[in-house]
Structure 1
Amino acid sequence: MSRSDRSAPSDVTGITIGTDMIRLGQFLKLGGAVDSGADVKELLADGDVTVNGEPETRRGRQLHRGDLVTFHGVTVRVD
């Protein structure tokens, strides 16, 4: 599925990034989901994060504008 084919629920918040790409761990910290890299590892190990509806365990996963990240039942769009 391409990024343009994904439709986000209307209650999704967008977080603007200043570059074309951001790594998942950085994005989770930017969005306030975690405070540190250690917290990112724990969150991902618990299986609580999905990217575009698929479970993700790699904190280095590259995210691009339009990607949807869900954690703790909250979905956030990379803007």
Structure 2
Amino acid sequence: MQENIEIKTDYITLGQFIKLANILESGGMVKAFLQDAGVLVNGELEHRRGRKLYPDDVVEIEDIGSYIVSSSESTH
């Protein structure tokens, strides 16, 4: 099951997204996690904290879960 994580901006960086979703608490933890393990963004392995995520992007984190970026904006 995928969890929707709502953003209020046009995009969010992967590092900010991981903190927003309460997956990891600090930027340092996010940096180390992404360097070591990485996550799947729309099915592609990603290690960059600065990767921009837009509404409808899917982030999959092994052994943790799958998340969809959703927008609080009514128009895309």
Normalised by the shorter chain, which TM-score bucket? 0.7 to 0.9
User: Counterparts of 1:41-56 in structure 2 under 5 Å?
Assistant: 41-56=31-46
List gaps (5 residues or longer) in structure 2: 71-76
TM-score, with length taken from structure 2 = 0.85
Please give the alpha-carbon distance, in whole angstroms, between the structure 2 residues aligned to 1:19 and 1:39. 24
Structure 2 counterpart SS, 1:16:
strand
Structure 2 counterpart SS, 1:33:
coil
> Share of identical aligned residues, percent?
45
User: Which 4+ stretches in 1 moved above 2 angstroms?
Assistant: none
Greater share of residues in strand: 2
Aligned pair count?
69
Aligned counterpart for 1:77 among listed residues 45, 61, 68: 68
Aligned counterpart for 2:17 among listed residues 18, 27, 39: 27
* RMSD, aligned α-carbons: 1.0
TM-score, with length taken from structure 1 = 0.82
